[in-house]
Amino acid sequence: MRNYIEETHRNVRLQEGVRVIEQMLIQCYMRPGISTKDLARDVLLPVPVSTAIKKELIKAGILQQESGVQCTKLGKEYIENRVGYGGLDKALYQKLMINDTGWRIELKDILSTMEGLFTLRPQVNVQIDQSKCTAETSLRRAILCLRDYSLIGKKILCVGDDDLVSVSLALLLMRLFPTERKLPVTIDVIDIDERFLRYIKEIAVQKKLPIRVHQVDLRYALPEQLHAQYDCFFTDPPYTLQGMSLFLSRGVTALQKQKGLSVFLSFAHKSPDFMLSMHREFVEMGLMVREIISNFNEYEGAQMIGNRGQMIVLTTTEHTTPKISNSFKDPFYTGEIKRTLRTYRCKKCNESILVGIEGRFTTIEELKNQRCPRCRNNKFELVLKSRK
């Protein structure tokens, strides 16, 4: 089947990229009879530009102007078979595309499943800046991906996935395509932690989800087979400038060489100066900030960041390129950079114990699990904090 989207893009020479043409077609498919004015507003284009695209698609035979704009029979076949919308539960899709909180009712079964899976996931390793987002946050990220037109028919990468976003994405698709044996998506996960990769793979096998896992140490260049093939990626990197740049660079390397693709970056709320430095990193990599959603992410036991974090949606441009392409040897985890030492006192025997990257135990969780070396108690209080 001809690639009408690419053909139209070549003919119109649209600066916004291929993505917006696909979105116009999907709108015409989901809302037959839509006006050109509404179509332009929905895809954030001037009316004359939307009209030019519409005329090209009419000339190609996949749109028609009849009581508004709608797909022809050929256009419907193209959207269903080539773009991946065949077998879609349109009623559910339209409900989820509305920007409100109604999805909690529609997807309460998936949320319940995710909550059960979250209780069994491996313990986070704070040495590599893992943290526990809530099941609702994980599913909310998947819905954001759907509303961004970055889910159906796409290849998605999770750069680190202790939040099980890959599972949320796949379960959401199963609900949207209840009769389809093969879901219209490819979801890959790269992570250094074998425990989470093993757990995600077990879930994928058990629930027949289209998820593949790859053990990758991001300090080294991304394997060639993962280069330039994905439509978007998710990442919740270490909350350091170095960590963010590294994770973004690896994700950008994995993206197709195309403008208009989305990057879903979860990050802590930071000071204005730190945010300015972040934006410099974005500009250096040729990434545009499309949206910042405050308090989008909720975490369990992350008091250091107030249990909340922001979602930053970035978009690729023709200048997008990874800042880091080869091996990265500098520190980038929070503990490596800050090198904080904490002194805890056992509440039973008053033994003082150093905790930190250079201490007797690296984390308080490790100390609690192994208990006080002197009396085997597992309750402690923080008495001193110093930074190297």
Which CATH number belongs to the domain containing residue 36 in this structure? 1.10.10.10
Any domain includes 161: yes
Domain boundary among 83, 106, 126: 83
Instruction: Give the strand order in the sheet containing 154-159.
Output: 132-133, 287-300, 308-316, 262-268, 232-235, 154-159, 185-191, 211-215
The reported pLDDT for the residue numbered 301 is: 60
pLDDT of residue 287: 98
Residue whose tokens read 């519409």? 54
Are 23 and 123 in the same domain?
Answer: no
Does residue 213 belong to any structural domain of this protein? Answer: yes
The pLDDT tens digits for 74-85 are 999 999 999 999
What pLDDT shows up at residue 127? 60
Report yes or no on 334 lying in a domain. Answer: no
Residue with tokens 């909180």: 101
Asked whether the beta carbons of 107 and 92 are under 8 A apart, the reply is no
Final residue in a domain of this structure, among 64, 83, 102: 83
- Whether 188 maps to a domain, the answer reads yes
59 and 19 both lie in a single domain? yes
- Which regions of the chain are under pLDDT 50? none
> Structurally, how many domains does the chain consist of?
3
Residue type, 104: R
In a domain, 330, yes or no: no
Does 57 share its domain with 198? Answer: no
Does one domain contain both 141 and 278? yes
In a domain, 354, yes or no: yes
Residues 37 and 129 in one domain: no
Residue 277 Ramachandran class (φ > 0 left, ψ -120 to 50 alpha, else beta): alpha
State whether 212 and 287 are in the same domain. Answer: yes
* Exposure string over 318-339, b if 16+ CB within 10 A, otherwise e: eebebbbeeebeebbbbbbbee
301 with 381, same domain: the answer is no
Is 283 domain-assigned? yes
Angle between helices 90-97 and 135-147 (to 10 degrees): 100
Burial of 294 by CB count in 10 Å (0-12 exposed, 13-18 middle, 19+ buried)?
exposed
12/106 same-domain check: no
Residue 28 exposure: Cα atoms within 13 Å on the Cβ side: 34
Q: Judge if 206 and 355 occupy the same domain.
A: no
106 belongs to a structural domain: yes
pLDDT of residue 337: 56
Q: Per residue in 145-194, pLDDT tens? A: 999 999 999 999 999 999 999 999 999 999 999 998 889 899 999 999 99
Residues 6+ apart with CB under 8 A from 61: 72, 74, 75
Our CA dihedral for 17, 18, 20, 21, rounded to 10 degrees, sits at 140
Q: Are residues 51 and 184 in the same domain?
A: no
46 and 172 in a common domain? no
At which of 53, 83, 113 does a domain end?
83
Both 151 and 256 in one domain: the answer is yes
Quote the domain boundaries for residue 208. 92-316
